[in-house]
Amino acid sequence: MTAPARARRVPALGLAPRTSVALVVASVAGLAMLAWPLVASPPPGYERRLEAPFALAALLPVLVAVLVAELTAGRLDTKGVAMLGVLTAVGAAARLLGAGVAGVEPLFVVVILGGRAYGPGFGFVLGATTLFTSALLTAGVGPWLPSQMLGAAWVGLGAGLLPPARGRAEVAVLAAYGALAAYAYGFLVNLWFWPFAVGPDTALSYVAGAPVVENLRRFATFTLATSTWGWDTGRALTTVAGLLALGPALLLALRRASRRAAFDAEARFEPAGAGRSPAGR
């Protein structure tokens, strides 16, 4: 099988064994970072913003580790890194169109299509770098940034793990996934600040030391009352509309770019003069 033929079926940033380990560790650590108040009582007066610098400092090396793992495994080259940079810039610029107003965040269209076209590892890194870059552009850097980066990274990762499909079926699968991912993203970001954002003694308040099920019930009520019907629904509608309208054309363009760039093509070296006919010599 020739290198170009292999490149058609191998994503720019797939899941090599080392990448899988890095993503599992990052996901487990990320969930622990978001949900630890559900299983452990924070000290009095604790504030989430104290965690943010440490969470961000831990997340950035993970992204570098994923890229290094893929580079050393030979599944990603400089052309793949360049594509990651281009899509990150496009996604960050797309966020400027809505700046998050009422959940209008078209960047998730770019993250989902990038993860779908180039694989789950690529999608994970793309989601995180896109949110990080867009935060710099929109002055949106704050304690919430690590949770946003993780949420977007998981959106891109999930897009790359969707089952195979083509044509209208693929667009329908992506649209359904985009709607679910939009609500899941809002759920995760809410989980970051909810325990310390609502005052005590309300039906929505976090109760330190309460059973996990009780706090999850309160958190679900908080999410429904504050973001589900506004921000999350707006994000879902924007994402679904963008995927239905732009998905087929953009997927075609991204896959064509992957084929022409020949991601993952193996370099072969032959002795000088090999393959020449005697007359040509």
Domain extent listing, the chain:
9-40+47-261
Stretch among 100-109, 190-199, 253-262, 263-272 having the lowest mean pLDDT: 263-272
Question: What pTM did the predictor assign?
Answer: 0.83
3-class DSSP assignment, residue 193: helix
- Judge contact between 140 and 209, C-beta under 8 A: no
Nearest in space to 126 (alpha carbons), one of 102, 101, 109: 109
**Separation between Cα atoms, residue 104 and residue 97, nearest integer Å:** 8
Taking the chain, what is the end-to-end CA distance rounded to the nearest angstrom? 28
Nearest in space to 198 (alpha carbons), one of 180, 174, 225: 225
Nearest in space to 65 (alpha carbons), one of 24, 116, 31, 107: 24
- Judge contact between 120 and 186, C-beta under 8 A: no
Q: Convert the pLDDT of each residue in 108-133 to its tens digit.
A: 999 999 999 988 888 999 999 999 99
Q: Convert the pLDDT of each residue in 33-90 to its tens digit.
A: 888 888 888 877 777 777 778 888 888 888 888 777 767 766 667 787 888 999 999 9
- Judge contact between 127 and 149, C-beta under 8 A: yes
Helix axes 107-118, 120-137, angle to 10 degrees: 160
Rg of the chain over Cα atoms, rounded to whole angstroms, equals: 21
Instruction: Give the containing element (helix H, strand E) for 1.
Output: none
pLDDT (0 to 100) of residue 273: 52
Q: Is the pLDDT of residue 107 over 70?
A: yes
User: Which amino acid belongs to residue 25?
Assistant: V
Q: Is the pLDDT of residue 11 over 60?
A: no
pLDDT band at 6; cut points 50, 70, 90? very low
Cα 102 vs. chain centroid, distance in angstroms? 21
CA distance readout (Å), 119 to 84, 184, 204, 247, 263: 12, 20, 39, 16, 12
pLDDT (0 to 100) of residue 210: 84
**Separation between Cα atoms, residue 275 and residue 252, nearest integer Å:** 36
Cα 217 vs. chain centroid, distance in angstroms? 27
Residue 46 has what DSSP assignment? -
CA distance readout (Å), 173 to 16, 160, 210, 213: 25, 12, 39, 32
**Separation between Cα atoms, residue 136 and residue 153, nearest integer Å:** 17
Can you tell me the mean pLDDT for 169-183? Answer: 95
pLDDT (0 to 100) of residue 266: 52
Nearest in space to 239 (alpha carbons), one of 177, 151, 149: 177
pLDDT (0 to 100) of residue 73: 66
Q: What are the residue ranges of helices labelled H in the chain?
A: 3-9, 17-35, 52-73, 78-98, 107-118, 120-137, 145-160, 167-197, 212-223, 233-261
Q: Convert the pLDDT of each residue in 211-270 to its tens digit.
A: 899 989 999 988 888 888 878 998 999 999 999 999 999 999 998 887 765 555 554 545
